[in-house]
Amino acid sequence: MTITHDLLVWFSKSFGLFYLMGLSLIVVIYAYWPANQKPFNAAAQAILHDDDDKPYRG
């Protein structure tokens, strides 16, 4: 099968469009999902106070 220009344009205007839109939507939903705020803020704070500077050993 040869990939023609028309085929590529059709593919990018159908699959490409929804793939990028869908992806953006998923990323925004993930970033703003209320349950995710706690781990996000914890992670942002955590790097500031690793006072002992030691790996965890369990």
Partner 1 sequence: MVAELTKNERQGALVILLALAVTGLAMAAGGRGDPFGVHGALVLVVSIAGIFAVIGGYYAPEPSPDRLDSYYDTPTKFGIIAAMVWAVVGMAVGDWVAWLLAYPEWTFDAAWASFGRLRPVHTSGVIFGFGGNALIATSFYVMQRTSRARLPDQLTPWFVLFGYNLFCVIAATGYLMGVTQSKEYAEPEWYADIWLVIVWVVYFVLYLRTLNRRKEPHIYVSNWYYLAFILVVAMLHIVNNLAVPISWGSAKSYSLFSGVQDAMTEWWYGHNAVAFFLTSGFLGMMYYYMPKRAGRPIYSYRMSIISFWGITFFYMWAGSHHLHYTALPQWVQSLGMTFSVMLLVPSWVSAGNALMTLNGAWHKVRDDAVLRFMMVAAVFYGLSTFEGSFMAIRPVNALSHYTDWTVGHVHAGALGWVAMITFGAIYASVPWLWKRNGMYSAKLVEAHFWLALAGTIIYVFAMWNSGIIQGLMWRTYNESGTLAYSFVDSLVAMHPYYIARAVGGVFFLLGAIIGFYNIWMTIRTASQDETAHNTADHPVTEPAVGVPALQPGE
Nearer to partner 1, 18 or 46 (CB): 46
Nearer to partner 1, 2 or 5 (CB): 5
The H or E element spanning position 13 is none
Nearer to partner 1, 1 or 44 (CB): 44
Q: Contact between 3 and partner 1 (CB under 8 A)?
A: no
Q: Is residue 30 within 8 Å of 36, Cβ to Cβ?
A: yes
Among 20, 21, 22, 25, binds partner 1 (CB under 8 A): 20
